[in-house]
Amino acid sequence: MKKFLLLAITTVAAMTTVADNSPYIAHVYDYLPAPGQFVNVYPAYQPGYTKADILAQLETALVGKTNATVSLGSYGGYIVFGFDHPVVNRHGYDVKIYGNAIQSEAVANMPGGSCEPGIIMVGLDMDDDGVPSEGDKWYEIKGADYDRSQHGYEITYYKPDENKVRVPHESWRFITDVNYVYWTSNDQVADSTSGYVWRNSFHNSNPYWPLWIEDTVLTFRGTKLPNTAIDMSGGNGNNWFQPFLGEGYVDNLPNPQEPGFKIDWAIDEDGNPVMLDHIDFVKVYTGQMDYCGWLGETSTEVAGAEDLHPDALPLLVGDVNGDQQLNVTDVTLLISYVLGSSAVTIDEYAADFNGDGNINVTDVTALINKVLN
Ligand SMILES: [Ca+2]
Ligand SMILES: [Ca+2]
Ligand SMILES: [Ca+2]
Ligand SMILES: [Ca+2]
C-alpha cells in the first residue's frame, strides 16, 4: 500500500510538471535571400552547397540561440522558421525576434542609428504535416508603420553574369559597382521602377546572388516600408542615420529595447485583424528597398527568436483564474469583477466569454450556462 501511494504521488508530480518547450528556434524551414553584400557570407556558401546544406548551416547558427547573423539581403529576402511547439496567443507580447540594430551615440536624443527593418508573417499549419506547405495560411503582423507602407509591392531581380561583365537587359552597360544586380518593380512611390543593387566597394569580392539557387530571376512580393535613412554627411554617403520605426518589425530596435510582437497584430491580405489562438511558423523578410552609401543596401538581419512564454497553455475562454478549468470559481470571480470589486484580478481576455470586447453580465450568463452544462 505504501509503495502504491508513493507511485501515485510520483505520477501526480510528473503530470503537474510544466511542459519543457525550448523558447528558441528549433527548425529553419526555408531561406531565400535577395541579392546583397552579405549573401553567401552569412551564412557562408561553399562550392557545391545545395539548399539543404545552407538550411543545415542556418540551423546550426539559429537553433537554441539568439546571437547569430543571418542576412536576408535586399527587399523581399526571407527566412522561415519555427519552434518545437505551437506558440500560443496569450494576447501580450508573444514572440521576440533578435536582430543587430544599434542606437547611434552621435545623434543625441533621436531614437535611431543602424536599423534595417524586416516584416513579420505568421503561419498556420493547416494540413498538420509539421512543415510550411502549399495550403497553409499566412498572415502579416501589422507593424506600426503599416499605413505609410506600400502593399502589393513586387520586385524582380536578374542574376548578373559575373564572367561576361555586361548587365542583362542593358547589354551596352558593363557590370560595375553601380550597375550590378538589375531589378524592376511596380513601385508606386519611388522615382524609378528599375535600378541596380549596387556592389559595395567594401564588399565586392563575393557574388551577391545566392549561389545555391539555380534561378536566374527572383521575384518577391509583399509590404514595402518607406525609405527612412538620412544621409547626415550632406550627400557624401558616409554617415547615415536610420530612425527606428515603431513596433512590430525585426532588426529595427536594439535587442534590449525590442519587446517582440503580438499574435493579436495578425491581419489578412485586406488588412483586417485575424484572431489566431496560436501560430506554427514565422517568416521574416527585408522590408525596405534602400541603399545607404558606404553601408550598402538595407538588409534585415535575423539573430534568433524567442517564444516569450514557451510553456504557456492555450487560452481557455471563461477560465478567468487561469487554472485551465471552467468551474464555479470562475463564475464567482467573474461576478465579483463585473460588480466592480477592485480586489479581484482576472484574465480579461478569458473573461470576455462572447468576445464582444466588453466584460459584463452577458459574459457571466454565458459562463454560468457553460459551467452548468
Ligand atoms: Ca503544412
Ligand atoms: Ca541590421
Ligand atoms: Ca478556472
Ligand atoms: Ca463580453
Query: Which residues sit with Cβ closer than 5 angstroms to ligand 1, an ion?
Result: 125, 127, 129, 133, 136
Q: What separation in Å is there between the alpha carbon of 323 and the centre of ligand 1?
A: 31
Length, in residues, of the chain: 373
Give the residue carrying C-alpha cell 527612412. Answer: 228
Rounded to the nearest angstrom, the gap between the alpha carbon of residue 367 and the centroid of all alpha carbons in its chain is: 36
Could you give the strand order of the β-sheet that contains 102-103, starting from the edge strand earlier in sequence? Answer: 102-103, 112-114, 240-243, 230-231
Q: What separation in Å is there between the alpha carbon of 265 and the centre of ligand 2?
A: 23
Q: What separation in Å is there between the alpha carbon of 364 and the centre of ligand 3?
A: 14
d(CA 239, CA 241): 7
Mean residue pLDDT of the chain comes to: 89
The per-residue pLDDT for range 246-256, each reduced to its tens digit, is 999 999 999 99
The per-residue pLDDT for range 108-141, each reduced to its tens digit, is 778 999 999 999 999 999 999 999 999 999 999 9
Q: Three-state DSSP class for 267?
A: strand
Q: What separation in Å is there between the alpha carbon of 349 and the centre of ligand 4?
A: 9
Inter-residue contact 72 to 33 (CB < 8 Å): yes
Q: Does residue 15 surpass a pLDDT of 60?
A: no
Q: Three-state DSSP class for 313?
A: coil
Higher pLDDT, 104 or 219: 219
Q: Does residue 176 surpass a pLDDT of 70?
A: no
Query: Which residues sit with Cβ closer than 5 angstroms to ligand 2, an ion?
Result: 100, 116, 251, 301
Closest ligand to residue 135's CA: 1
Q: What separation in Å is there between the alpha carbon of 13 and the centre of ligand 3?
A: 20
Per-residue model confidence (pLDDT) at position 175: 57
Residue 168: pLDDT band with limits 50, 70, 90: low
Q: What separation in Å is there between the alpha carbon of 343 and the centre of ligand 3?
A: 17
Q: What separation in Å is there between the alpha carbon of 198 and the centre of ligand 2?
A: 18
Look at residues 238, 279, 289 and name the one whose alpha carbon lies nearest to residue 76: 289
Q: What separation in Å is there between the alpha carbon of 53 and the centre of ligand 2?
A: 24
Closest ligand to residue 364's CA: 4
Q: What separation in Å is there between the alpha carbon of 286 and the centre of ligand 2?
A: 10
Closest ligand to residue 353's CA: 4
Q: What separation in Å is there between the alpha carbon of 95 and the centre of ligand 2?
A: 19
Cell of 45: 556558401
Contacts (Cβ under 8 Å, ≥6 apart) of 18: 311
Residue 3: pLDDT band with limits 50, 70, 90: very low
d(CA 306, CA 295): 28
Rounded to the nearest angstrom, the gap between the alpha carbon of residue 37 and the centroid of all alpha carbons in its chain is: 22
Residue 230: pLDDT band with limits 50, 70, 90: confident
Closest ligand to residue 355's CA: 4
**For residue 158, what are the CA distances in angstroms to 71, 188, 208, 215?**
19, 21, 11, 9
Per-residue model confidence (pLDDT) at position 126: 97
Residue 21: pLDDT band with limits 50, 70, 90: very high
Closest ligand to residue 138's CA: 1
The per-residue pLDDT for range 325-356, each reduced to its tens digit, is 999 999 999 999 999 988 888 988 899 998 89
Closest ligand to residue 69's CA: 2
The per-residue pLDDT for range 265-324, each reduced to its tens digit, is 999 999 999 999 999 999 999 999 988 877 788 999 999 999 999 999 888 899 999 898
SS3 content of the chain, % helix, strand, coil (to 5): 20, 25, 55
Which class for 189: exposed (0-12), middle (13-18), buried (19 or more C-beta within 10 A)?
exposed
Give the residue carrying C-alpha cell 556592389. Answer: 199
Inter-residue contact 224 to 288 (CB < 8 Å): yes
